[in-house]
Amino acid sequence: MRQFRWLLSIAPNSDETIYLVADNSGRNGSAWCKADLEGAVETVIQDLLAGKYRQPIRVVAFNTAERWSEDVSEDIAREIQRRCNLQLTDGPSYLREFVDRYSQQDLQQFSLRLV
C-alpha 1/C-alpha 6 separation (Å) is: 16
| Cβ atoms within 10 Å of 60's Cβ, excluding its own | 15
0.85 cut: is pTM over it? no
Closest CA to 35 of 24, 45, 25, 49: 45
C-alpha 97/C-alpha 55 separation (Å) is: 8
| pLDDT value at residue 112 | 58
Tens digit of each residue's pLDDT (9 = 90 or more) over 43-72: 899 999 999 888 999 999 988 888 899 999
Higher pLDDT, 107 or 39: 39
Domain boundaries, the chain: 18-102
Residue 102 has pLDDT above 50, yes or no: yes
Q: Would the CA dihedral through 26, 90, 108, 39 be positive or negative?
A: positive
C-alpha 87/C-alpha 56 separation (Å) is: 22
